[in-house]
Chain A
Amino acid sequence: MIRRWVAFWNTEESATTLAAVRVLMPLVLLSDLLHVWFLGLHDVMWSPEELGGWSVTAIGAEQPLFGQIFGGTTETSVGLFWLVAWLCVMVSTGTFTRTSALMLALCYAQLEDFLPVADRAIDRLYRNLFLVLAFSGAGKTLSVDAWLRTRAFRDDAVRIGGWARRLFILQVVWMYFDAGLEKGASTWSVMGRYDALHYILQDPIMSRADFTNPGALFHWITRLGTAGTIWWELAAPLMLVALFATGTGRLGRMGRWLRKVRFREVYLAIGMLFHIILWATLELGMFPPAMLVLYPCFFLIGEERSRD
Chain B
Amino acid sequence: MKAELRAGLIALVILSQAVAAIPNPPELKDSALKDPSAQAELDAWVDNFAAFGIEKSREEVHALGKWWTARLRGTREALVWPFKPIFQFTGTGQGWGLFAFPDMQPHRFEIAVYEDGAFRDVYVDLDPDADFMAPVFAARRVRAVYNPGNKPPPAFDPFTDWLADQVFEAHPDAEKVRIGFRRSLRLKSGEPHPGYSKRVHFTRVFDREAP
Contacts and interface: CB of A to CB of B under 8 A. Distances in A.
Contact of B138 (A5, A184, A283): A283
Contacts of B51: 191
B140 A115 contact: no
A184 to B, nearest CB: 6
A205 B159 CA distance: 16
Given A54-B145, A127-B90, A202-B193, A179 B96 contact: yes
B117 to A, nearest CB: 28
A250 interface: no
A209 B138 CA distance: 11
Interface residues of A, number: 82
A291 to B, nearest CB: 11
A54 B136 contact: no
A295 interface: no
Interface string A163-176: 10001001000110
A199 B96 contact: no
Interface residues of B, number: 65
Interface string B136-163: 1011111111010000011101110110
A181 B96 CA distance: 9
A182 B100 CA distance: 6
Interface in A41-69: 41, 44-45, 49, 52-56
A26 interface: no
B90 A205 contact: no
Interface string A34-46: 0110010100110
Interface stretch (B77-85, B101-109, B167-175, B197-205): B101-109
Nearest to B193: A212
B6 interface: yes
Interface string A103-135: 001101110110101111101110110010000
Interface of B: 3-4, 6-7, 10-11, 13-14, 17, 21, 23, 25, 41, 44-45, 47-48, 51, 89-104, 106-109, 125-126, 135-136, 138-145, 147, 153-155, 157-159, 161-162, 184, 187, 189-190, 192-193
Interface of A: 5-6, 8-10, 32, 35-36, 39, 41, 44-45, 49, 52-56, 105-106, 108-110, 112-113, 115, 117-121, 123-125, 127-128, 131, 161, 163, 167, 170, 174-175, 178-179, 181-188, 191-193, 195-200, 202-210, 212-213, 216, 219, 283-287, 307-308
Given A54-B155, A285-B140, 12 more contacts: A49-B155, A54-B158, A125-B96, A127-B91, A161-B6, A178-B94, A185-B102, A186-B45, A199-B102, A212-B193, A219-B189, A308-B3
7 smallest beta-carbon distances between A and B, as pairs: A109-B91, A285-B140, A186-B44, A212-B193, A204-B125, A203-B106, A118-B141
11 contacts: A9-B3, A105-B90, A110-B91, A127-B91, A163-B10, A174-B94, A179-B96, A183-B97, A191-B48, A191-B51, A195-B189
